[in-house]
Amino acid sequence: MEVGGIFGLLILIADVWAVVSVIGSSATTGKKVLWIVLVLLLPLVGVIIWYFAGPRAAR
Residue-wise pLDDT tens digits, 17-34: 999 999 999 899 999 999
Give yes or no for residue 1 having a pLDDT over 80: no
Supply the pLDDT for residue 58: 59
Give yes or no for residue 5 having a pLDDT over 80: yes
Q: Are the beta carbons of 12 and 44 closer than 8 angstroms?
A: no
Q: Tell me the pTM.
A: 0.82
Residue 45 Cα distances to 16, 26, 28, 38, 41, angstroms: 14, 23, 22, 9, 9
Q: Which of 5-9, 28-32, 38-42, 48-52 bottoms out in mean pLDDT, i.e. has the lowest?
A: 5-9
Alpha carbon 19 to its chain's center: 5
User: Within a 13 Å sphere around the CA of 48, how many CA atoms are in the beta-carbon half?
Assistant: 4
DSSP assignment letter at 9: H
Average pLDDT on 36-40 reads 94
